[in-house]
Structure 1
Amino acid sequence: MPAAEEIDGDVYVSPVYLAGSTYTGDPALRPLLDAGFNRLDDDLANIYLSSPDQRIRVGWLPEGEDDALWRITGHEQPFAPPRWLATFDHYTPVEVVAAFTTALAEDHARGSNASVHGRIGSNRAEPLRPLAEAGWRVAHGPYLSVSQPPDRLALVTYVNGRLDHHEEISDQRSKWTVSGGASGYSSEWLGTFTTHTPAHLVTATMNRLADPAPVARYKDFVPERNRSAARITPVKPPAPSPLDIQRAAAARSRSTVARTVIASPALVYRTTTPLPAAAPARHR
């Protein structure tokens, strides 16, 4: 297998937390749009989605006022302050965000209130379970619970103590933080979840974070500092089907006949236009 620096063009990258951003929101917006969320675009290219009952709101904000590219909130009532807030910054892999929004869309499709209040029986340990099952180290301290993968290039933290709700909703503090990438500006990304963010939505995000399945990227989109640590493989063209092979053979056959005709104009003349008969000899 060629070294990562020798590969160019379209690639597969694993783990997802080292893949970098695609700088597009479509994969994370699409599940919500397919679920019937309303869409509003402003003249700055920001996109706002809301559930039909106006209790879930999603902003994709490339021209927002801070580093949060994604701001997602859940509300008790349409005009109530947010019950919970989730954010993801510009460098977050869109597949991580899509895991969260897909879970939101599934709640909406089931007609469930779980996307606002959570599921009965959920607990704070639930989101850490998929990480532990994937081999991440989980350590519980008096203030923080911390989880990291074996390569130590991602980090999930959970604050064990009670936080002020208004500080959380104003994005000053967060119950959960998740980040990834090698150290360095534009290589690390950050996501946050406040205390009342439903545990199953956080769990969906952690499931994708722990999933070793590679994601597609253009090589230059993978942060340079991450390339030596990530597993990067070229995208191979798909193997031709029997029908593809048959069509290619037919095309080559037609091409060979055409070249023969073009290269032998005399043959074309002889086979399409008879030669004039010789003039009869004159008798003297």
Structure 2
Amino acid sequence: MTHPVENLDPAQTVHVLPRHLAGPGAVDPRTAWPFPFDEGWPFAQTDARTAAAFSPCLRLQTTYDPQPDIPGKGTWTINAHRAPFTPPAWRITFDATTPIELLHDIHTELLDLYLEDRHSDQDRLFQDDTAPNEAYTPLLTCGWSHDVKTDGTQTFLTPEGLGGVRHRYAYSGSSDPVWRAWGGYPSEPHWKARISFGTPATLVAAFTASLVSTEPLHRTVQDVPVRTRRALYTAAATTKQPHGNTPVAPPPPAPVSGRTR
């Protein structure tokens, strides 16, 4: 049995879910970074497509390194510094193959936190009081499984098993990420994310909310990863339409209890 996507022209536009299997989309720093560059946020990009953006105070730095010598690789990185030119207080890295919409949503939340801090006496970029459960509750409400181990980690897996989020709830002082996420087969994921200790849980919650969003992503057939296409939900092939107005076909048989529609 063939999947509907496999019968379409490679250049055809489709609308797909779940987001973690959609593929990266158009890899463009200005799409990922919703910063007000006309209001003092420096932006630079080289001929090799390496790009960087900074907050006016220079405490936030986000970069894109395409690593052209390694096919399909590259890294998006967010660094937060308590003071300019000091070592990062926390860091988030994403593979370049991470869906661009997930990157946009976490950077949007990053900008919101920055603006809140600038116009108040808070410092939520470094003293966030959001509880970790706000980051993983959206996963549980969408039917993800939950496994807790005595080594101090808990793992949340997608209903079809082709994506996950791992949280190290017992901090051991090591340099290992406190949060990890991936899409695709665990042994060979399409993309990975690594979130260090000290990262505001508000940002992690924005990422997981985007991860389980039911708004379909626009992709061409050729941009959708081949190995996991059979796990996608697809809408009818269309020409470009207003964002978010296309209905999504229902998921395959055997629905999972608790999954949102």
Give the TM bin, normalised by the shorter chain. Answer: 0.7 to 0.9
Residue 178 of structure 1 aligns to which amino acid in structure 2?
A: A
Instruction: Give, in whole Å, the separation in 2 of the partners of 1:211 and 1:194.
Output: 24
Is 1:147–2:156 an aligned residue pair? yes
**CA 1:34–1:183: 2 relative to 1, 3 Å:** farther
Is 1:5–2:9 an aligned residue pair? no
Q: Shift of the alpha carbon at 1:45? A: 1.7
Which runs of structure 2 are paired with 1:201-216 in the superposition (5 Å)? 201-216=203-218
Instruction: Give, in whole Å, the separation in 1 of the partners of 2:237 and 2:109.
Output: 29
SS in 2 for 1:37: coil
Instruction: Give, in whole Å, the separation in 1 of the partners of 2:162 and 2:36.
Output: 30
Do the aligned residues in 2 keep the contact of 1:183 with 1:225 (CA within 8 Å)? no
Instruction: Give, in whole Å, the separation in 2 of the partners of 1:217 and 1:21.
Output: 9
Do the aligned residues in 2 keep the contact of 1:28 with 1:98 (CA within 8 Å)? yes
Aligned partner of 1:81 in structure 2 is 87
SS in 2 for 1:109: helix
Do the aligned residues in 1 keep the contact of 2:35 with 2:41 (CA within 8 Å)? no
SS in 1 for 2:98: coil
Q: Shift of the alpha carbon at 1:159? A: 1.4
Deviations 1:20-53 (A, max 9, x none): 1125123212346477521122342211100001
Percent pairwise identity: 25
Aligned partner of 1:191 in structure 2 is 193
TM-score w.r.t. length of structure 2 = 0.79
**CA 1:40–1:46: 2 relative to 1, 3 Å:** same
135, 145, 148: which one pairs with 2:143? 135
Instruction: Give, in whole Å, the separation in 2 of the partners of 1:220 and 1:11.
Output: 10
| TM-align CA RMSD | 2.5
Q: Which moved more, 1:134-143 or 1:96-105?
A: 134-143
Deviations 1:74-133 (A, max 9, x none): 11001221000000002211111111101011123332655521433x222221111112
**CA 1:183–1:126: 2 relative to 1, 3 Å:** closer
Aligned partner of 1:16 in structure 2 is 19
Structure 1: stretches of 5+ with no match in the other structure: 168-172, 240-284
Q: Shift of the alpha carbon at 1:198? A: 0.4
SS in 1 for 2:125: helix
How many residue pairs are counted as aligned between the two chains?
230
Do the aligned residues in 2 keep the contact of 1:19 with 1:215 (CA within 8 Å)? yes
SS in 2 for 1:204: helix
Instruction: Give, in whole Å, the separation in 1 of the partners of 2:187 and 2:221.
Output: 18
Deviations 1:147-203 (A, max 9, x none): 1121111110011332446x3xxxxx2111000124675x52100100101000010
SS in 2 for 1:117: coil
Q: Shift of the alpha carbon at 1:138? A: 2.1
Q: Which has the higher helix share?
A: 1
Give the 4+ runs in structure 1 shifted more than 4 A: 64-68, 112-115
Do the aligned residues in 2 keep the contact of 1:7 with 1:234 (CA within 8 Å)? no
Residue 139 of structure 2 aligns to which amino acid in structure 1?
A: L
159, 179, 184: which one pairs with 2:182? 179
Do the aligned residues in 2 keep the contact of 1:4 with 1:233 (CA within 8 Å)? no
Instruction: Give, in whole Å, the separation in 1 of the partners of 2:131 and 2:224.
Output: 35
Q: Shift of the alpha carbon at 1:17? A: 0.2
Aligned partner of 1:217 in structure 2 is 219
